[in-house]
Structure 1
Amino acid sequence: MRIGVVVDASCDLPPEFLREHNIGILPVSIRLGDELLVDMRDPDVTLKFYTEQLAAKGLEAETSPFTAEQIRQKFLDRIVIDYDYVFCITVSSTRSAIFENATRASFAILNDYKSIRAAAGVTGPFALRVVDSKNMFCATGVLAAEAAKLARAGLAPNEIRRRVDEVRDNLCGYMVPGDLYYIRTRGMKKGEKSIGLMTYAIGSALDIKPVIQSYRGETEPIAKFLGYDRAVEKMFAHVARQIERGISTRHICISYGGDPALIARLPGYAALAQVARENGIEIMSSIMSATAAVNAGGACVAIAYGGELRTFEG
């Protein structure tokens, strides 16, 4: 059986991995004043967005996910021919309408695929499972990578489904924003309270940076440190300790709001990489999507793994 994986553009994975596993992308449109950027996870386009557009236009940018009809059309154009079973993995339904739109589209896809497959000479049924990752950015990447690896290994759909559900409910994501003003202002536009007024005021005055945790659809600051470098180092050290204690995925994902070549230079990365090597854990690093950047700002660092959520020890 041909099993495929489709994600939305906010899912952070390296471009090489996306190509190797032929992972489909549901684009997200970003309106920047009079300009329209379609986020397809093209690393060159995304880096240009960071260097030339985010600072000037990011705060007022508006993102629009694929509609149910657009998702339906994308699947019927090619995906229902190329695969027999697809896992469509989306950013948390608490963050975006993508999951809702994909779910609505799935009913129409399953009603309409038969004639399209028949015309292409493809026999047998087509099945689709839409999965709410309950997380975002590189945490969604951890889940998508797990599904893609299992499909490549030849597991049956039901086996992959059970594993995906298990990992989905145990995705631990963390991030350190580069700019508190940016992330607070964007959060206010969306009615979020992750970075409150007092937290912002104190953080701005003292250069205090929070570590924000994302887990099962909820985001909250769980620690604060003096300076961006210290916060990133502590975040990486926390994940390194979780690797030593045991995580459930053989990979972790890191994304950065800017040139991904800078990830290896971040404080604490070398120690994290050594622990990962010693424990046989792959680090999958990528540029943070333009869609994520609109909400998180430049120089944001995010990291995620699948495994037990344990207390953050600063």
Structure 2
Amino acid sequence: MRIGILVDSTCDLPEADFAQHNIRVMPISIRLGDELLVDERDAAATQHFYAEQIDTKGVDAESIPYTSEQVQAVFLERLVIDYDLVFCITVSSRHSQIFDNATRASFGILKQYRAVRAAADVQGPFSMRVIDSKTIFAGTAVLVAEVAALIEAGVPANEIRLKIDEMIPNVCGYMVPANLGYVRDRGFRKNDRKGLGDTMRGMALTLGSALSMHPVISIYRGEENPANVNRSYEKSVARMLGHVTERITAGELMSSSVCLSYAGDITRVPAMPGYDELAKAARERNIQLKLATMSATGAVNVGAGCLFIAYAGKHVKM
């Protein structure tokens, strides 16, 4: 059986992983004033966004997810021909309409695929599964990396489905925004649901609007909550990375990778406090560290300089 993966552009996997596993991407459009950026994880476009656009236009940006008609077109143009089963893994449905749009599209796809496959002389049935990751950014990447590895290893489709269902409620994500004020002012905008902006505003009130404070935000089972707070970005990053290092050392992971994404130049991340210890623990436990540039869509919502890390495994309070 030929099994493929489709994700939206907020899935923060390294570029090499997308190429190696032929992971297809549903773009998200971002309206930046009079400009329209199509976020499809193009490295050059993302680099330009960070260099020229996020600081001046990010806070007022509007994200536009693929409609159900566009999702349907993606499948019927190529995916129903190239694969017999596609796992469509989306960002949390709490924050985007992508999951709902893909689910609606699936009904039309399953009605129309036979004619498309027959015209291409492709035999046999086609199926798809639309999956709400219930997480965001590098959290979604943890699921996708695991599915890609299982497909490459030749694991049967039913076992992959069971593994996904087992992992989703155990994906633990953490992030440290560099600028809490940006996220408080920004939130998730049009076409998104209850967003991080609500959480950030609550935190700002809790902290007495002391925006010099730097919280670690936990993203777990579809909810965002403050996990820790420090007086500097560096201390929060060190606490966050140290927490994940402890989980690795304790053997509490069920994923074979830990995914990180950074809203900016990722060459800065290995020099951050706590990264060396994280990398050492990962090597000793044969855990892959996957570091990616955060998508433009993610960055407009959490701000430049945000560091995100995720794994699947035991959830322990920080």
TM-score with structure 2 length normalisation?
0.95
Write the distance in 1 (CA, Å) between the matches of 2:243 and 2:42: 31
* Matched-pair contact (CA < 8 Å) for 2:259–2:289: yes
* Distance (whole Å) between structure 2 residues aligned to residue 44 and residue 142 of structure 1: 24
Amino acid at match of 1:148: A
Deviation at 1:199, TM superposition (A): 3.9
What is the match of residue 205 of structure 2? Answer: 198
Runs of 4 or more, structure 1, over 6 Å off, are none
Q: How does 1:46-85 map to 2 (within 5 A)?
A: 46-85=46-85
Map 1:26-45 → 2, pairs under 5 A:
26-45=26-45
8 Å CA contact 2:263–2:305 kept in 1: the answer is yes
In structure 2, C-alpha distance between the alignment counterparts of 1:71 and 1:148, rounded to whole Å? 21
Q: Is the 8 A contact 1:180 1:200 kept in 2?
A: no
Structure 1 residue 145: Cα displacement: 0.7
Partner of 1:223: 228
AA at the equivalent of 1:101: N
Query: Does residue 233 of structure 1 match 2:241?
Result: no
Q: How does 1:97-176 map to 2 (within 5 A)?
A: 97-176=97-176
Equivalent-residue separation in structure 2 for 1:237 and 1:166 (angstroms): 25
Q: CA deviation at 1:200?
A: 5.8
Quote the residue 1:95 is aligned against.
95
Matched, 1:295 2:301: yes
Tell me the SS of whatever aligns to 1:203: coil
CA contact (8 A) 2:269 2:275 kept: yes
Equivalent-residue separation in structure 2 for 1:183 and 1:273 (angstroms)? 29
Partners of 1:298 and 1:120 lie apart in 2 by 45
SS in 1 for 2:121: coil
Once the two structures are superposed, residues 108-151 of structure 1 have per-residue CA deviations (whole angstroms, 9 ceiling, x without a partner) of 11110001001111000000000000000000000011111111
Distance 1:151 1:167 in 2: 16
How many residue pairs align between the two structures?
310
* Structure 1 unaligned blocks of 5 or more: none
Question: Partners in 2 of 1:203 and 1:120 — Cα distance?
Answer: 61
Show CA shifts across 1:207-250 (max 9, x none): 21000000111111111011000000000000000011120011
2:257 aligned with 1:251: yes
2:208 maps to 1:208: no
User: Which letter does structure 2 place at the counterpart of 1:250?
Assistant: S
Three-state SS of the structure 1 residue aligned to 2:244 is helix
Per-residue CA deviations over 1:226-275 (Å, capped at 9, x if unaligned) read 10000000000000000111200110000000011111111111111011
Looking at structure 1, the residues matched to 243 and 210 of structure 2 have their Cα atoms a distance apart, in angstroms, of 21
After TM superposition, the structure 1 stretch with the greater mean CA deviation from structure 2, 38-47 or 179-188, is: 179-188
Deviation at 1:44, TM superposition (A): 2.0
1:19 aligns with 2:24: no
Deviates more, 1:253-262 or 1:195-204: 195-204
Structure 2 distance, partners of 1:296, 1:311, is 22
What letter corresponds to residue 231 of structure 2 in structure 1? L
Say which SS state the counterpart of residue 299 (structure 1) adopts. Answer: coil
Aligned mates of 1:188, 1:112 — CA distance in 2: 35
> 3-state DSSP class of the match of 2:283?
helix
Instruction: Output the CA distance in 1 between the equivalents of 2:296 and 2:207.
Output: 24
- What amino acid does structure 2 have at the position aligned with 1:157? A
Other-structure match for 1:311: 317
Aligned-residue offset at 1:47:
1.7
Q: 2:268 maps to which residue?
A: 262
Deviation at 1:187, TM superposition (A): 2.0
Considering only aligned residues, what root-mean-square deviation do their CA atoms show, in Å?
A: 1.2
